[in-house]
Copies of this chain bind each other. A is one copy, B any other.
Amino acid sequence: MRDVAVIGIGMMKWGELWEKSLRTIFVEAALKAIDDAGVDHIDSMYVGCMSSGLFVGQEHLGALLADYLGVAPIPAVRVESACASGGAAFRQGFIEVASGMSEIVLVGGVEKMTDVTGGGATFALSTAADQEYEVYNGVTFPGLYAMMARAHMERYGTTRKQIAQVAVKNHENGCKNPHAQYQMKVTVDQVINSVMVADPLTILDCSPITDGAAAVVLCPLELAKKIAKKPIVKVAGSAAATDSIAIHQRKDITHLAAAEQAAKMAYKMANVGPSDIDLAEVHDCFTIAEICAIEALGFVERGKGGAATEAGETALGGRIPINTSGGLKSKGHPVGATGVAQICEIVTQLRNDAGERQVKGAKRGLAQNMGGTCASCTVHILEVV
């Protein structure tokens, strides 16, 4: 396998984009990434998207978006792994370049979630869970993560304030990210006392419904060395893993086994460990998810995620800054785009382009993207060459 580099990134302001359609926002992000890469063509394209069929009545996004980006007849295909669709699409792009099949590959992620017909966004999102055993019985995602939060509090003594602190931190970071949907600070009290969604999680523990897209351009490292105008970022590790889709089948619902497994393989491939990572973007679809994720990735001991967050270890300037972009919580969570946007943030940081939210001297970053309650997970490790 050839070494692969990320040579272009493209992000846009996320939010409720009523005046733009799915194809418009994808093309906007893709053109930015192509422009940033400085390439005049792409050879192949991947689209990460969870549920455009249910959200906007449109499947076949590979062909549609290649057409609207003006790059047909190149190969273009959609990759889906629920909320990990972006990370999964990135992994396919990585494998295609590493294989030698293609030289310059665009990976975009997109989701248009606000103007939904049919069963609404909650139904569309619930299709990431087990339709026959979980959804049929009335559980939705806030409910599933609320059970994980309760179990974590019970087992490890994690407090409500510690969980809320994830939202406080991520909104603070998001205020420094011009692309973030909610650039506003929140306090622990505000989080705890906002509208209850699924006890103990309030609306400020939940990531929002978002329209958005993100894109990156990949090429062989050797080619990047010839054409790149910015610091070159290499894909040092790429891994994916799965777990039982329904949480009732797991031994321990506070533990994200697929994240641990994917991290183990990505660390091995990159020949590093958790302590070698300078910053990470993790999948905080709910506040409790970030706590479970930093434990599974090995940044903190099992059960200590809440305490570490409260102690500021994961804040900007802390031991291991987590979600400098604002995370899903503040930046927004257009599900299929999230995994690709995580890569954009890591590359921005490794290029030393993150402005106010820059992690000083960042040389190596990790992106963890998960689907459902972590029934699928991708982990990527990027480093400056």
Query: Which A residues lie at the B interface, using CB under 8 A?
Result: 1, 21, 23, 50-54, 56-64, 66-67, 72-82, 88, 91-92, 95-96, 98-101, 118-119, 123-124, 127-132, 135, 239-246, 249, 257-258, 261, 371-372, 375-376
10 CB < 8 A contacts A-B: A53-B127, A57-B135, A60-B128, A62-B88, A63-B242, A67-B245, A72-B241, A75-B239, A77-B80, A77-B81
Q: Which B residues lie within 8 Å of A98 (CB)? A: 99-101
How far apart sit A63 and B159, CA to CA, in the bound complex (Å)?
A: 31
Given A63-B372, A64-B130, does the pair A242, B75 have CB atoms closer than 8 Å?
yes
Q: Are B60 and A1 in contact (CB under 8 A)?
A: no
Q: Is the CB of A67 within 8 A of B244?
A: yes
Which 9 pairs between the two chains have the least Cβ-Cβ distance?
Answer: A99-B99, A75-B240, A63-B375, A60-B82, A63-B376, A58-B131, A59-B127, A72-B242, A78-B80
Bound: A280/B321 CA distance, A:
55
Distance in Å: Cβ of A306 to nearest Cβ of chain B: 26
Closest Cβ of chain B to A336, distance in Å, is 10
- Residue with the highest number of chain B CB atoms closer than 10 Å, among A81, A118, A123: A81
| CB <8 Å contact, B127 and A243 | no
- A21→B77 contact, CB < 8 A: no
A344 to chain B, nearest CB (A): 21
Chain A interface, DSSP helix/strand/loop, else mixed: mixed
Q: Is the CB of B51 within 8 A of A242?
A: no
Shortest Cβ distance from residue A299 to the other chain B in the assembled complex, whole angstroms:
20
Take A74-B241, A75-B241, A242-B63 as given contacts and tell me if A131 and B81 are in contact as well, using a CB distance cutoff of 8 Å: no
> Closest residue to A62 on the B side, CB-wise?
B81
Q: Is the CB of B241 within 8 A of A73?
A: yes
A98 to B123, CA, bound (A): 38
**B82 and A80 contact, CB distance less than 8 A:** no
Would B59 and A128 count as touching, CB distance under 8 A? yes
Q: Is the CB of B81 within 8 A of A78?
A: yes
Q: How far is the CB of A110 from chain B (nearest CB, A)?
A: 13
Q: Give me 17 other A-B pairs in contact (C-beta within 8 A), A60-B82, A77-B92 excluded.
A: A21-B132, A23-B132, A51-B59, A53-B53, A53-B124, A59-B80, A60-B80, A60-B128, A60-B129, A61-B80, A62-B242, A67-B244, A75-B240, A77-B91, A95-B99, A99-B99, A118-B118
A95 to B77, CA, bound (A): 13
Chain B hits for A62, CB < 8 A: 80-81, 88, 242, 371, 376
